[in-house]
Amino acid sequence: MSLADGQQGGTETRDELPAHSWAAHVGPGLVSTATDNDPSGVVTYSLAGAQFGYDMLWTCALSYPSMVAFQFVAARIAAQTGKGLTVNMRAHYSRPLFYLAVMRFLIANIFNIAADVVAMGAGAQLVWGGSVPLFAAAFGVLSMALQWFVPYARYARILKWLALCLFAYVGVVVVSHASWQTLALRAVVPRITWSVDYFTMLLAVLGTTISPYLLFSQAEQQIEEQQPQSQPHSDGAEATCQTRGPHLKKMRHDTLIRTVLSNGVGLFIMAAAAATLHATGHGLDNSHDAASVLAPIAGEYASHVLGIAFIGTALLALPPLAGSAANAAVSARDQRVGKQRNRPVAHALLVVMALGVSIGVALTLVHVEPIRALYWSAVLNGSTATPVMVMLVLLSTRHSAVGDLSAHWTLRALCWLATIFASAALAARFACEWLA
């Protein structure tokens, strides 16, 4: 709910207003294809295809089960406890480990916000020309204003149509006459090159597929959906038991579908870059190179299509990025729940967004290439996600945290598999660098 909604209702005082509660609860939802594939994801997949061809398609296909498993686990924990992941981690882990994970999460999210602000500036320049720093600042302020005054669902219904630009990559693969047999084979058979560049790219791809902020948002979304029917009362525990089942069933259905869409779009972005840039021996060094991937289907309007995709997906991704970071920051020092914590979350949201926008504009002023900023934000996510992944999967085994909703062994196995793989990729990267 936004401040405008509270004023229209007219029945709540200012102190009782759910101060931008959506900032703490916004989840992937119907626009997840865009939020999962924000500018950082689009650039990372494009770079992977341009540099390694079809060799990394398997990361999109084989990461799907683990992505689903992690989101299931996050939702189960929230459904049982009625609290977000940060609050649960604070209650069950030592302070040093907990604060390390929260600090990592905040740093990665703020840098991701900054990179998306840079991308909006670059996208606007592709569409209209002009100053990247000016556009970055303008769209950063616009995003803050939308998050403060307009309910996310309201403007997401409009902005989600901009995300249709992402499906242009599917058309590129079709018109490029890529071998579907090769695509299918490379999607399920890993092909690994033992080099620093390969494992750095692998970390970036993992950072944009299994994004920790989506897990925190998934948990908060589960809490939000249960709240109307499970407010504390004399038989609150019974009400929660009666309502969480349907919510979990709906969550499972939604997660399965939206993760297929998200990973499918990522796979086609990578394949499109492989069929265009990699096949012709061209690199991807700037935004115009990234736009050239769409040239086979968009022609002279390729830059406009990519620019619109950057702006639309960034505006959709920034609220869950900032909201999950604000929620984590507040929960790290404050155990209040419900309406009492909405106002601190709203204030933290402004701080997180202000930091992200300021850093993003500063990067444009020193002429940091947007492609590099977006790529390294994904690398940072992939390189630092392991502590959060470990804490989450261990939390799913604790009866004190999840009770009778303890995660099935198959979910835990899939989560451990992704966690071990991410750790191995990081270790392999440093090993290759040390041996070089």
Pick the closest to residue 98 from 333, 322, 324, 323 (CA basis). Answer: 333
Return the structure tokens found at 224.
């939000």
- What's the whole-number mean pLDDT along residues 83-110? 85
Judge whether 304 and 26 are in contact, CB under 8 Å: no
Are 191 and 59 within 8 A, CB to CB? no
What is the domain class of 30-223+239-435 according to CATH?
A: mainly alpha
Asked which of 17-21, 125-129, 158-162, 362-366 is least confident by mean pLDDT, the reply is: 17-21
Q: Which residue has the tokens 């019974």?
A: 238
CA separation for the pair 382, 19 (Å, rounded): 32
Helix axes 370-384, 409-435, angle to 10 degrees: 120
pLDDT for 338: 58
Give the pLDDT score at 173.
Answer: 95
CB 32 within 8 Å of CB 258: yes
Closest CA to 209 of 416, 409, 413, 65: 65
pLDDT per residue over 14-42, tens digit each? 333 333 443 433 333 335 556 678 999 99
How high is the pLDDT of residue 2?
41
What pLDDT, on a 0 to 100 scale, did the predictor assign at position 29? 38
All structural domains of the chain with their residue ranges: 30-223+239-435
Answer with the residue of higher pLDDT: 296 or 383: 296
188-206 per-position pLDDT tens digit: 999 999 999 999 999 999 9
Q: Are 1 and 151 in contact (CB under 8 A)?
A: yes
Buried b (16+ CB within 10 A) or exposed e, 175-203: ebebeeeebeebbeeeeeeeebebbbbbb
What is the Cα–Cα distance from 143 to 313, expressed in whole angstroms?
12
Is residue 111 within 8 Å of 377, Cβ to Cβ? yes
Q: Which contiguous run of DSSP H or E holds residue 101? A: helix 95-128
Positive/negative CA dihedral, 393, 399, 403, 405: positive
In degrees to the nearest 10, what's the CA dihedral of 100, 211, 115, 359? -20
pLDDT at 318 over 90: yes
313-323 mean pLDDT: 91
- Cα diameter, the chain: 68
